[in-house]
Structure 1
Amino acid sequence: MRRREGHRERGSTIPLIIGFALVLALVVAFVVDASAAYLRRQALDGLADGAALRGADLGAAGTWVYGGGLGTTDLDIAADEASRAVTDYLAATGAYDRYPGLRAEVSVDGHQVRVRLIAPLRLPLRVPGSPSRPSVGAEGSAVVRIDQEARP
């Protein structure tokens, strides 16, 4: 088609600019929320690892562990002692104050302590369609091993 003399193509770029601005705002909100969730999970990872180490350490202590000799395998861990040590560790580090609603799940499988921490997350920005009450979880585990080289 030929253009007629004096006729200009006209149109508004405002809807296009508004559309791009909305897409950009959604991308920014997603990145900010994803970063907040990632940082919370990283913090909970360190906390779960520390709690598992503390639970394994104190769960493997006591006369019942050493009564029959150390043996040659990993030390058995008392589930109730490990669970109590994890709870005490989280309280001593102020985790319950820093992460209101924090839940700890402790499981002992003979020689290994597993700690799973779950904390609610308040997202800085709300992306449409995101969960209304998101939570973040982290898991740590520890084993108390006997150093065979250090034994006489």
Structure 2
Amino acid sequence: MPRERCDDEGSILPLLLGYVVLALAVVFVCTCATDLYIAQKRLDSLADAAALAGADGFTLVVEGEGVRAELTDDGVREQAAAVVDAIASGAHLVSASAPDGVSARVTVAIDWHPPLVSAFVPAGVGLEATATSRTALR
């Protein structure tokens, strides 16, 4: 074979290394994105549980011949804080209130940090979730 036709000599090692680096970057980003999604869903569940507990912290008010349940900001905050303290690892209660006297609105937050260190993912993100629950008794 003549020497002029053998111009495909060379190494594929740089190309292979480039693809390996790209594949690792994609794996790191996907792992971090999945962990972020799961952290947000866990925070949503915590907010739901805290709001539900806050809605159960009602006091009964007797008006004439009727009885109604009434929520107070302090009662909602106390119940929600108990749930957040018992369940959460790193989450904190941002706010807990009873805006209309029959609903409990709770906001919780956490600082998320990626499980893998990567140049493509931020070092940390603040996550927040808000949930509202109404008391069954009106």
Specify the TM-score bucket, using the shorter chain as the normaliser. 0.7 to 0.9
Q: Which runs of 4+ in 1 moved over 3 A?
A: none
After TM superposition, the score normalised by the length of structure 2 is 0.81
Please, which of 65, 81, 90 is the counterpart of residue 87 of structure 1? 81
1:66 and 2:61 aligned: yes
Please, which of 111, 124, 145 is the counterpart of residue 136 of structure 2? 145
CA 29–129 in structure 1, closer or farther in 2 if over 3 Å, else same:
closer
More strand by proportion, 1 or 2?
Answer: 2
Question: Aligned partners of 2:81 and 2:51: how far apart in 1?
Answer: 10
Structure 2: runs of 5+ lacking an equivalent: none
| 1:49-60 mapped onto 2 (5 Å cutoff) | 49-58=48-57, 60=58
> 1:108 is matched with which residue?
98
After TM superposition, the score normalised by the length of structure 1 is 0.74
Secondary structure of the residue aligned to 1:141 is strand
Residue identity over aligned pairs, in percent, reads 23
Amino acid at match of 2:15: L
Question: Aligned partners of 1:121 and 1:80: how far apart in 2?
Answer: 29
> 1:16 is matched with which residue?
15
| 1:31-46 mapped onto 2 (5 Å cutoff) | 31-46=30-45
Amino acid at match of 1:131: P
- RMSD, matched Cα: 2.2
Q: How many residue pairs get matched?
A: 132
1:5 and 2:12 aligned: no
1:124 and 2:115 aligned: yes
